[in-house]
């Protein structure tokens, strides 16, 4: 049964899951990943812009990223923004491009990131619960009892499905963090 109230829940739950995956991509796992820095805000041309719109970002090896601004006049601003972003590596400016060299993660940092993964997953589950409550409140006034029960069952099935996806992504990310 394709009901707009349940479809609305699914759409909002999909956006929660998408947001969660984006947040996980930003977590530094000891490996260089362009997602760590591509959305860093840089002050350039009188406004703030994401780094990916000002520079080419390339992962040169497992532990380093090279950032080459298309306009050298913003190089210092890019360096300053990367320092402020605190991504776990100090930017090195050679006048043409900026290199970020990531150190291997310590056990303490891995445990700390693992806690962040669990916190993000819990926040996603809370968002799912809020969205479920909104959908539940929209379904409740339904006059036809059979339709109402069918919709509530479908809603609960969808909630369980999204909670399982959140748990699965959290487990994968934790394994990635804890792997040396």
- Domain boundary residue, one of 55, 82, 101: 101
CA distance 116 to 24: 9
This prediction's pTM: 0.71
What confidence score (pLDDT) does residue 29 get? 67
Q: For residue 48, what are the domain limits?
A: 34-101
Handedness of CA 93, 99, 104, 110 (dihedral sign): positive
Residues 119 and 135 grouped into a single domain: yes
Give which of 119, 133, 125 is closest to 165, Cα–Cα.
125
Residues 127 and 74 grouped into a single domain: no
pLDDT band per the 50, 70, 90 thresholds, residue 79: very high
Residues 110 and 21 grouped into a single domain: yes
β pairing state of 55-61 and 98-101: unpaired
Give the tens place of pLDDT for each residue, 147-164.
999 999 999 999 999 999
Highest mean pLDDT, choosing among 19-28, 31-40, 63-72, 164-173: 164-173
Helix (H, G, I), strand (E, B) or coil at 138: helix
Q: How many domains does the chain have?
A: 2
What confidence score (pLDDT) does residue 180 get? 62
**Domain at 14, CATH number:** 1.10.132.20
- Domain boundary residue, one of 50, 82, 101: 101
β pairing state of 91-93 and 41-44: unpaired
Contact call for residues 50 and 40 (beta carbons, < 8 A): yes
Residues 110 and 150 grouped into a single domain: yes
Which residues are CB-contacts of 112 (< 8 A; sequence separation ≥ 6)?
none
Which residues are CB-contacts of 95 (< 8 A; sequence separation ≥ 6)?
75
pLDDT band per the 50, 70, 90 thresholds, residue 15: very high
Mean pLDDT of the chain: 89
The position carrying tokens 């530094």 is 28
Helix (H, G, I), strand (E, B) or coil at 47: strand
**Domain at 68, CATH number:** 3.30.1360.40
Give the tens place of pLDDT for each residue, 80-112.
999 888 777 789 999 889 999 887 778 887 888
- Domain boundary residue, one of 70, 85, 101: 101
Please report which residue ranges of the chain form alpha helices under DSSP H. 4-26, 75-85, 107-139, 145-178
Paired tokens of 153: 């069952």
CA distance 24 to 73: 32
Contact call for residues 67 and 57 (beta carbons, < 8 A): yes
Residues 91 and 110 grouped into a single domain: no
């Amino acid at each position: 049964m394709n009901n707009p109230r349940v479809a609305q829940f699914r759409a909002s739950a999909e956006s929660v899951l998408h947001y969660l995956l984006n947040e996980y991509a930003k977590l530094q796992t000891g490996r260089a990943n362009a997602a760590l820095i591509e959305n860093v805000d840089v002050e350039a041309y009188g406004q703030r812009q994401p780094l990916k719109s000002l520079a080419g970002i390339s992962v040169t090896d497992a532990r380093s990223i090279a950032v080459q601004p298309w306009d050298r006049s913003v190089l210092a601003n890019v360096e300053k923004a990367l320092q402020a972003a605190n991504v776990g590596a100090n930017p090195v400016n050679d006048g043409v491009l900026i290199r970020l060299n990531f150190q291997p993660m310590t056990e303490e940092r891995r445990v700390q990131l693992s806690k962040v993964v669990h916190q993000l997953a819990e926040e996603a589950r809370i968002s799912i619960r809020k969205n479920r409550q909104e959908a539940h409140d929209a379904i409740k006034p339904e006059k036809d009892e059979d339709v109402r029960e069918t919709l509530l069952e479908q809603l609960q099935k969808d909630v369980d499905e999204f909670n399982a996806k959140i748990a699965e992504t959290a487990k994968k990310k934790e394994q990635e963090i804890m792997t040396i």
